[in-house]
Amino acid sequence: MNQLIFHGHATFEIVTADRTRLLVDPFLTNNPQATVGPEHFHDQLDYVLLTHGHFDHVEDAWSLLEKTGAMLISSVEISAYAGTVLGHERAHGMSIGGGYEFPFGHVKMTSAPHGGRLDAEGGEGYTCTPGGFLLRLGESQLYIAGDTALTLDMQLLENKVDIAVLPIGDNFTMGPEDAAHAARMIKPRTVIPCHYGSWPEIEQDPEYFRSLVEPRSDVLVMSPGDTHEFK
């Protein structure tokens, strides 16, 4: 079985059936929701996936890459930053619409309208195209939308997603109503809301979101530390 572990805000850990360990958008040190710090991953981390460059998605990425030697999977621009500025050559750059077969499964980068700044030391010259990830892991397709607005591109994912991780915080991303509309377009089995409740600007009630989505899809509200198993 694969495992999806929530660490608060928009940080998710994935442990595949063969025990490959991935971390998506590591924001731990100053994350008001996180119950673990970056040291939790120092014993093993194989891949770091970054949807975009804002601080609440990359804060601990750079130290984790240095400590663990993990491979970075992100946009071409963020991958170039890692190599040129940090000297971290284990980086795989991607662009929207492109896919690649990694040893743990297939990854495709999806559209996610959002801001493109890279909040990193020496990163002033590196903008980035924000995205999401569609991962094929074992028998399942996992869609991590990233920080995104509602977009008609999501119609292209209809019936191709088993688990959809969608932001619902509003203000910086989709709010509950737009995220529910996204779920109606995608038609996943399970929807996991994220990117809410970390600060007053994105305070939301996940039960309200649930009421907008179910029974068309199951809504799984995860607390930091919760694990969801899937095939």
Give me the CATH number covering residue 149: 3.60.15.10
**For residue 231, is it within any domain?**
no
Is 229 within the bounds of a domain? no
Give the residue-averaged pLDDT of 94-116.
97
Tokens of 81: 């930053």
Predicted pLDDT at 90: 98
pLDDT value of position 67: 97
Mean pLDDT value across residues 143-171: 98
**What is the mean pLDDT of the segment spanning 138-165?**
98
Contact 122/141 with Cβ under 8 angstroms? no
Instruction: Provide the residue range defining the domain that includes 206.
Output: 2-223
- Residue 230 falls within a domain, yes or no? no
Give counts: helices (H), strands (E), the chain.
5, 14
Global pTM? 0.97
The residue-averaged pLDDT of 86-104 equals 97
Residue 65 lies in a domain: yes
Give the separation between CA 22 and CA 15, rounded to whole angstroms: 6
pLDDT at residue 207, as a whole number: 98
In a domain, 192, yes or no: yes
> What percent of the chain shows pLDDT beyond 90?
97
pLDDT level of residue 228 (50, 70, 90 thresholds): very high
d(CA 42, CA 146): 24
Number of independent structural domains in the chain: 1
How confident is the model at residue 184, as a pLDDT? 98
Which residue's structure tokens are 């000297």? 87
Residue 29 included in any domain: yes
